[in-house]
Amino acid sequence: MNGEEFVPLSLTPLLIGVFAAVACALPGNFLLLRKQALIGDAISHVVLPGIVVAFLLTGAITALPMMLGAAGAAIVAVVMIEAIRRLGKIEPGAAMGVVFTTMFAGGVLLLEQTDTSTVHLDVEHALYGNLESLIWLDATGWSSLWDIEALAGLPAELPRMLFALIGVALFIAVFWRALKISTFDEGFARTQGIRVEALGMALVITAAVAAVAAFDAVGSIIVIAMFICPPAAARMMTNTLEGQLGWSVLFAVTSAVMGYVLAGYGPLWLGAYDAVSAAGMIATVSGVILALAAKFGPCRSRTGAPAGA
Amino acid sequence: MLELASNLGQAPKAEDLSKSPLSIRGLTVSYGQKPAVFSVDMTVEAGKMTAIIGPNGAGKSTMLKAALGIVPPVSGQVQVFGRSLDEQRARIAYVPQRASVDWDFPTRVIDVVLMGLYRELGLMGRVRAKHRATAMDCLARVGMGDFADRQIGQLSGGQQQRVFLARSLAQGADLYLLDEPFAGVDAATEKAIISVLKSLREAGKTVVVVHHDLATVNDYFDNVFLINTRKVAEGPVAEAFTAETLQNAYGGRLATAQVDQLAKALA
Amino acid sequence: MLLDALLLQLGYNATLVAIGATLLGISAGVTGTFLFLRKRALVSDAVSHATLPGVCIAFLLMAAFGGDGRNLIGLLLGSAVSAGVGLWCLNWLTRNTRLAEDAAIGAVLSVFFGFGVVLLTVIQTLGVGRQAGLEGFLLGSTAGMLWADAMIIAGGGAATLVLIMLLRRPMTLVAFDPEYAAARGLNVSRIDMAMMGLVMAVTVVGLKIVGLILIVALLIIPAVTARFWTERSDRVVLLAGLAGGIAAYIGAAISASAPNVPTGPIIVLMAFALFALSLLFAPNRGVLAAVLRHLRFQRRVHLRQGLLALATGQPIYEKMTLRLLQKSGLMRADGVATEDGVARAAKALRDEKRWEIVRADQSHEAAAALYDGLRAIETVLTPDQITDIDARIGGPKGVAS
């Protein structure tokens, strides 16, 4: 494939996919170790009602209100989960189940009651996005990367996802030590003056930012997969937190690239004509990576690690 | 009425409080509707080793955690070196129960010890050679110098406990609070830990230990604090750790034979 | 219109759907209770998402062999098979790797769902006629349902309920105390499997009504709702069935009578309404009751501590204690105890001393275990016993008690 075809049609969706995958995988590492992996699941479900409410309030599909609505919904969900867990003394899994299903149901109902026929907003889109459509029509080849005019025509999702990724990475970098201590030993972290609750909330909000930005481009299913699968696979590869983070980024990038390529070209190789869902394929690839790591990873088992490690 | 009052322990005078490394007043902590600790006063003597003793479920660990702000109290006040807890965080080192963390966490021994330097390193400070040297030194003091690069899940229970102790040493605190450090550890670890604690005392530090082994109280500690939901007794081992106070703290839960035996040992 | 729907007057299909939904709600509520008590509520989320690839593969297979890809029984069979595979993966991951169950749940649900989405797009692009309708499995759609399909759902709901009735005793035992159940000779892992089998059955039956994303709500919310009202597991089961049934019935009726109201979401919202009411107003575990109880409790602790401090002449630092003492007329604004306060303080101190004796005395072990600083000694000892203890205290006479 040459640049003339690759740059306009595949470069941007590929980059967006990679950015989204990494932005979700980074906070996913900590969610996994805090046994909060399913917070990602909950967040990605409640994004839908957030967006619908934002649409109802503004009457248009524009990026900023949608992002705010989704982020607001994520915060509402997390607060509700925490409230139900504490006030009702309900185990966290069940509290999560109550909240995200209800909010999702509310979102669907609102959507059905609203006339959204003029805008592109439906449940299917929310679930599996439309990565393939984020093409860069102004590009003519690799040289367009230096062409200001062409760059102006980049899909808005690309810079948005990049900013989200930078924000997430900054948060992890700044709070790395505090996150590590409070994830390992919460009581000790408290005695060190770390504000454990605030930090936990900040982590969830960071995850929500990643989820919301990614959601717009790639749908919620990929968000859940990227929160969990790359960190989980990375967990089987190493026994240091730094190593785990590195592996998870590698796995996230691999899933995004391979998933995108397989979705776009796999069917052609098999003799079919049309591409399949890239988001779905990325999630599938991440699952295959997880399966391989779970079967062959050097640090896959709970008790003891390999000799000499 | 005053006669009765004498049995409940005197309130320390105000000037004593300001010197005490840890003073607790009217502390009540409750899980649900049943207080685990009720209206407890405690004044820790500086430069001494104090054991907190009581039967299972008597609120020993709970009291410690509430004093450190790890669990919220229903009522009560805590002062550390005469100031509020938040002002004096840097002067306290806390060693939690071993079982309170996930030992499958992806980290190495040296990393855990370096966590003790959090307040010194701050959020973003780089770990430099001198920090590493401090951490290695602390590991060596607990006899774990050869294990620095091990994954923590590979350690035995006693070794894990020693790593926790090393982390608290790295903090360079003035007050050490340990929650059941001798629970389920091997004899070598117990010996290593007690010798480290004694060296801390020699250096003028204050050590408070939640302890469960009545037989070693006399050998290890200067002071005891007996608790069973309420404070039962507090003071030097010779005065406060008697057959009578033990009977008061343990009630029916300690076999009479055991009390007699201990009383003999004490005599 | 809504009334008609509630009274099953909206035609044959709507009635069948309402009955099917109610049966499903009851089955889901009951099955979900066992999951909830076993602390595995979200396993159902993985199971339900894992049905999607099966539905698609079944469709592709049936279409490939020239049949009608939309045959409901075939699709449901396919969904059951792939849910089973998902469940197996989940168990394998938690048993053989260091992953905790929550991570395994998330991994299975996202990967299976993602793969299902891939297959959905394959179906769309294959150009097979009449493929539309599979999306209905995501959120459920009962509009325009065939009579035969409604029959399958009603029948499936009834069959699941019968299975639950047969298995309820061993499942209760396992959910409550798996180790005791094992000691009693029950095969815990097999009963766990049966429990998961029921979850799968509920999911499969519910696919068409509430859809695979929301079926998990019917498995979780009624169980959590019921938990607020009782401490007994057999009653939780009954109440959860009731809550699930009511939510499903009302939801289905609203959906049938109003335009643009999909069945699944409205049933879930009904269930949540019941949950919210329970969370706030349940008599014992409800939030309102708990807040009131805690305030009362805090008052008792402060008052008692204040009285003891008064009795022993210790200074009181806590503002809340001072305020409560003054408000109860036990202390004057200048910090001096009133007459009443002196008497109450003496009584408190005397009780404390009595407790001290009780707790040091082996013959009072049972009573001593009840000590928590607040309990009145009269509630655990007879007046004779108290007199006996007072004799041992000696101490000041003439204090009114």
Output A249-253 pairs: Cβ under 8 A, ≥24 positions apart.
A249/A22, A249/A25, A249/A26, A251/A25, A251/A286, A251/A289, A251/A293, A252/A18, A252/A21, A252/A22, A252/A24, A252/A25, A252/A226, A252/A286, A253/A18, A253/A21, A253/A22
C312 and C378 share one domain: yes
pLDDT computed for residue A62 by the predictor: 74
pLDDT exceeds cutoff 80 at B191: yes
C117, C217, C290: residue with CB nearest A277: C117
Residues C317 and C251 in one domain: no
* Domain-located, residue C269: no
Task: State the residue for tokens 């966290």.
Answer: A92
For A131-186, write each residue's pLDDT tens digit.
777 888 777 777 777 777 778 778 888 888 999 999 999 999 999 999 999 999 98
Question: Strands B75-80, B22-31: parallel, antiparallel or unpaired by DSSP?
Answer: antiparallel
Please give the residue that has the higher pLDDT: either B161 or B267.
Answer: B161
Are the CB atoms for A18 and A217 separated by under 8 Å? no
Residue with the two structure tokens 């909000």: A205
User: C142 with C255, same domain?
Assistant: yes
Instruction: Report if residue C252 sits inside a domain.
Output: yes
Residue after which a domain boundary falls, among C262, C279, C308: C262
Angle at C307 between CA C305 and CA C311, to 5 degrees: 115
pLDDT digits (tens, 9 = 90+) for C163-194: 888 888 888 888 877 888 888 888 888 888 88
Residue C14 lies in a domain: yes
The whole-number average pLDDT for the span A83-107 is: 89
Q: Let me know whether C311 and C240 are in one domain.
A: no
Residue C400 lies in a domain: no
Q: What's C148's domain CATH number? A: 1.10.3470.10
Kindly identify which residue of chain C lies nearest to residue A30, measuring between CA atoms. Answer: C103
- What is the pLDDT tens value at each position of chain C, 401 positions in all? 667 767 766 677 778 778 888 888 998 999 999 888 888 888 999 999 999 999 999 998 888 887 777 788 888 899 999 999 999 999 999 988 989 889 999 999 999 999 998 898 888 877 654 555 777 787 777 666 677 777 887 788 888 888 888 888 888 888 877 888 888 888 888 888 888 888 888 888 888 888 888 889 999 999 999 999 988 877 888 899 999 999 999 998 888 888 778 888 899 999 999 999 999 998 888 888 888 988 888 888 888 888 888 888 888 877 888 888 888 888 888 878 888 888 888 888 888 888 878 877 777 777 777 777 777 788 778 888 888 888 877 655 544 44
Q: Which domains does chain B have, with CATH numbers?
A: 2-253 (3.40.50.300)
Backbone angles phi, psi at A114, to 5 degrees: -100, 150
Which member of A89, A91, A294 has the closest CB to residue C93? A294
Q: Are residues C236 and C383 in the same domain?
A: no
Compute the mean pLDDT over every residue in chain B, rounded to the nearest whole number.
84
Residues C258 and C292 in one domain: no
Residues A217, A222, A223, A225: what is their CA dihedral angle, to the nearest 10 degrees?
A: -170
Assess whether C55 and C172 both reside in one domain.
yes
What CATH number does the domain located at A3-215 have? Answer: 1.10.3470.10
Q: Which of C245, C262, C279 is the last residue of a domain?
A: C262
Together in a domain, C218 and C294 = no
Q: Nearest CA to A44 among A222, A231, A267, A167?
A: A222
Q: Is there a single domain that holds both residue C84 and residue C163?
A: yes
Cβ <8 Å between B96 and A304:
no
Nearest CA-CA distance, residue C99 and chain A, Å = 7
C194 in a structural domain: yes
Pairing of strands B175-179, B92-95: parallel
Q: Give the residue ranges of DSSP H helices in chain A.
A: 3-6, 12-33, 37-58, 63-87, 92-113, 123-128, 148-151, 157-174, 176-184, 186-191, 196-218, 220-235, 241-269, 278-296
Instruction: Let me know: does A47 contact A70? Beta carbons within 8 Å.
Output: yes
Most confident of A33-47, A248-262, B145-159, C341-355: A248-262
- pTM for the whole structure: 0.84
pLDDT of residue C401: 46
What span, in angstroms and rounded, lies between the C-alpha atoms of C352 and A296?
Answer: 64
Chain A residues bordering chain B (beta-carbon distance below 8 Å): 33, 174-175, 177-178, 180-181, 183-185, 187-188, 190-194, 235, 238-241, 243-244, 302-305, 309
CA gap C217, A97 in Å, rounded: 6
- For chain C, how many structural domains are there in total? 2
The radius of gyration of chain B's CA atoms, rounded to the nearest angstrom, is: 19
Q: Among the three residues C216, C244, C262, which one is the final residue of a domain in this structure?
A: C262
Under 8 Å between Cβ of C117 and A127: yes
Same domain? C241 vs C345: no
**pLDDT at res. C305:** 84
Mean pLDDT in chain A? 85
Q: Which of A232-236, B141-145, C70-74 has the lowest mean pLDDT?
A: C70-74
B91 burial type by CB count under 10 A (0-12 exposed, 13-18 middle, 19+ buried): middle
| Contact assignment for C320 to B8 by CB distance below 8 Å | no
Question: Domain residues for C354?
Answer: 288-393
* Contact status of A271 with chain C (Cβ, < 8 Å): no
- Shared domain for C239 and C356, answered yes or no, is no
User: What per-residue confidence (pLDDT) applies to B5?
Assistant: 37
Q: What's at C175, amino acid-wise?
A: A
Using the predicted structure, report yes or no on whether residue B4 has a pLDDT greater than 60: no
Size of interface B-C (CB pairs under 8 A): 93
Closest CA to A226 of A253, A202, A201: A253
Question: In the structure encoding, which two tokens stand for residue A194, read together?
Answer: 């770390």
Q: Is a pLDDT exceeding 80 seen at residue B86? A: yes
Q: What is the pLDDT of residue C143?
A: 62
pLDDT (tens digit per residue) in C12-41: 777 877 888 888 899 899 999 988 888 888
Same domain, C6 and C85: yes
pLDDT, tens digit, 9 for 90 and up, residues B226-260: 998 888 889 999 888 888 888 888 876 565 556 56
Rounded distance between C-alpha atoms, residue A188 and residue A197, angstroms: 13
- CB contact A225 to C (< 8 Å): yes
* Substitution target from A30, A32, A184 for chain B, most B beta carbons within 10 A: A184
Tokens of residue C129, six digits: 């006629």
ipTM of this predicted complex? 0.89
- Rounded-to-integer distance, Cα C336 and Cα C326, Å: 10
Rounded Cα distance between C85 and C115, Å, is 13
A38, A274, A280 ranked by CB distance to C42: nearest: A38
Nearest Cα residue in chain A from B109: A240
* pLDDT tens digits for range C79-98: 999 999 999 999 999 988 98
Question: B68, B70, B108, B150: which to substitute to probe chain A, counting the most A Cβ within 10 Å?
Answer: B70
The C residues from 189 to 228 touching A (CB cutoff 8 Å) are: 213-214, 216-217, 219-221, 223-224, 227-228
Query: What is the mean predicted confidence (pLDDT) over B140-160?
Result: 90
Report if residue C274 sits inside a domain. Answer: no
